[in-house]
Amino acid sequence: MNTNHKHSSAAKDGGLATGRSAGNRGLLIAGILLVAAALRAPFTSVGPLMEMIAGDLGLSSAAAGTVTTLPLLAFALLSPYAPQLARRFGSAAVLAAAMLALCAGTLVRTLPGTAPLFAGTALIGMAIAVCNVLLPALIKGQFPARIGLMTGLYTVSMNICAAAASGLSVPLARQAGLGWRGTLALWLIVAVPALLLWIPQLRTLRQESAGRTAGSAGRMWRSPLAWQVTLFMGLQSLLYYVLIAWFSVILGERGMSSEQAGWILSLMQLAQLPCTFFVPIWAGKLKQQRPLVLVTAVLFLIGIGGVWLGGNAWMPLWAICIGIAGGFAFGLAMMFFSLRTRSTREAGELSGMAQSVGYLLAALGPVLFGLLHDAVDSWDLPLALLVAASLLLLAAGWGAGSSKFVGDER
C-alpha cells in the first residue's frame, strides 16, 4: 500500500484535518469517543433485561426476540443510505441529528405500553446505523495520519460501554431499584453529553461539503474487493452475534450453571477489548493485513473447535480465543473501510455497503442457528457451520487484507 498517497488523498478529502486548532481538535476527539460510547449501551442493555420487560408487558417469545433484532434490521436497511444523507446535509449535521434521534428513542421506549418500546427501539436502531457508517469515514477524513489510533480508540470506547451496559443492567434494575425503564433511560448520561459535545462540530465542520468527489456508490457494489470487505464484515458480525446469543445456552446444556456460563461469556467479551484498540493500530502500519486475518481465523477455529469438541475444563481457554479473534475481526473490519478506499466519501460508501450486509447476517444468524439446533437436536452441526464460517472469513479477509484500493482490481 502506498501509505503516503493514501494519507495525502485523505487529507485533501478531510477538509479541516490539518487546519483545526488544538482546542477544536480535542473537542472533536472527545465528541467521537462519546458518540462511540453511546452507540452500544442502548442495544446491549436490553438483552439482560428482556425477561423483566417481557413479563411486565406480557410479550410473547417472538415479540421479545423482535425487540433485540429490530436494531440489527435497522442497521441493515438504513446503512446504505447514510452516505447519501451525509453528501446532502454534511456528516456533522447528520451525526448530530442521529444523536438527537438516539436520545429521543431512548426516552420514547420508556413510556408506558408496548408500542413506545418498539417505536423507540426502531428509532434507536436507525440512529445507530447512521453513526456506525459515518464515524469511520469521518475519522479517515479528519485524522488521515492517525487512522489506526483513532479507530482503536473509537472501537474500544464503543465496546467498553457495551460491556458495562450488559453487565450493569440487571443490578441497576433490581438492586438499585431503577426497574427496566429507569435502567434503559439511565444511558442518556452518555448520549446527552455526546449530543451536546457534537453540536459545536456543526460550525467547525461546516466546510465539509457534499459531493466532493465523483459518485462511486454504483461502482462500490460492483467491486470484488468491496465485496470481500463486505463478506468479512458480515461473517465476523454473524460469528459474534450467534455466540453472544447462544454461547450461554450451549454451556448450560453442557452442564454448567448459569453463573458459570455468565462468567465464561464475560471472559470472552473482556478478552476482546484490548484487541479492538491495538489491532487497528497494527493494521494501519502494515502494507498488507493478511497476517492479522490469518491470526483471526486460526483463533476462531481453535476457540469454536474447542467448544465443539473439547471439554468444559478448557472452556475458559476457548472463550479467550474466541474473544481475541472477535476483537481482531472487528478492529480489522473497521479499518478496511479506510484502508481499502482513497477518499472519505468512498470510505462512507464502503462502510454503508459492508454494514448493511453485515448486520443483515447478524440479524438472521442467531435465529437460523437456533432453528438448525432444533431441527437436528444437537449443537454439533451448528458449531460445524461456525467452523465453516471461520474458514470463509479467512478467504474473504485474505482478499480484503491485500494492498489494493476499491476500483483498482484489474
Confidence of residue 347 (pLDDT cuts 50, 70, 90): confident
Residue 171 φ/ψ region, left for φ over 0, alpha for ψ in the -120 to 50 degree band, beta for the rest: alpha
Residues 256 and 253: their CA atoms lie apart, in Å, by: 7
Q: For residues 62-77, give the mean pLDDT.
A: 82
**Average pLDDT of the chain?**
84
Q: For residues 335-354, give the mean pLDDT.
A: 89
The answer to whether 266 touches 295, Cβ cutoff 8 Å, is: no
Most confident of 5-9, 205-209, 331-335: 331-335
CB neighbours of residue 171 within 10 Å: 12
Q: Where, residue-wise, is CATH 1.20.1250.20 in the chain? A: 1-210, 217-404
pLDDT the model gives residue 218: 66
Say which CATH topology domain 217-404 has.
Growth Hormone; Chain: A; (1.20.1250)
C-alpha cell at 368: 437460523
The yes-or-no verdict on residue 53 having pLDDT over 70 is yes
C-alpha cell at 150: 483513532
Residues 93 and 112: their CA atoms lie apart, in Å, by: 31
In a 13 Å sphere around the CA of 302, the CA atoms on its Cβ side amount to 18
C-alpha cell at 115: 408500542
The yes-or-no verdict on residue 340 having pLDDT over 60 is yes
Confidence of residue 213 (pLDDT cuts 50, 70, 90): very low
Cα angle at 179 between 178 and 184, to 5 degrees? 85
The yes-or-no verdict on residue 142 having pLDDT over 50 is yes
In a 13 Å sphere around the CA of 397, the CA atoms on its Cβ side amount to 31
Most confident of 150-159, 247-256, 298-307, 398-407: 298-307
* 3-state secondary structure string across the chain: CCHHHHHHHHHHHHCCCCCCCHHHHHHHHHHHHHHHHHCCHHHHCHHHHHHHHHHHHCCCHHHHHHHHHHHHHHHHHHHHHHHHHHHHHCHHHHHHHHHHHHHHHHHHCCCCCHHHHHHHHHHHHHHHHHHHHHHHHHHHHHCCCCHHHHHHHHHHHHHHHHHHHHHHHHHHHHCCCCHHHHHHHHCHHHHHHHHHHHCCHHHHCCCCCCCCCCCCHHHHHHCHHHHHHHHHHHHHHHHHHHHHHHHHHHHHHCCCCHHHHHHHHHHHHHHHHHHHHHHHHHHHHCCCCHHHHHHHHHHHHHHHHHHHHCCHHHHHHHHHHHHHHHHHHHHHHHHHHHHCCCCHHHHHHHHHHHHHHHHHHHHHHHHHHHHHHHHHCCCHHHHHHHHHHHHHHHHHHHHHCCCCCCCCCC
CATH architecture for residues 1-210: Up-down Bundle (1.20)
Most confident of 56-65, 95-104, 210-219: 95-104
Instruction: Label residue 378 exposed, middle or buried (CB < 10 Å: 0-12, 13-18, 19+).
Output: exposed
Torsion of CA 353, 156, 27, 96, to 10 degrees: 40
Residues 77 and 238: their CA atoms lie apart, in Å, by: 16
Residues in the chain, overall count: 410
CB neighbours of residue 313 within 10 Å: 7
In a 13 Å sphere around the CA of 244, the CA atoms on its Cβ side amount to 22
Which amino acid belongs to residue 321?
C
The yes-or-no verdict on residue 211 having pLDDT over 50 is no
Confidence of residue 270 (pLDDT cuts 50, 70, 90): confident
Residues 379 and 241: their CA atoms lie apart, in Å, by: 16
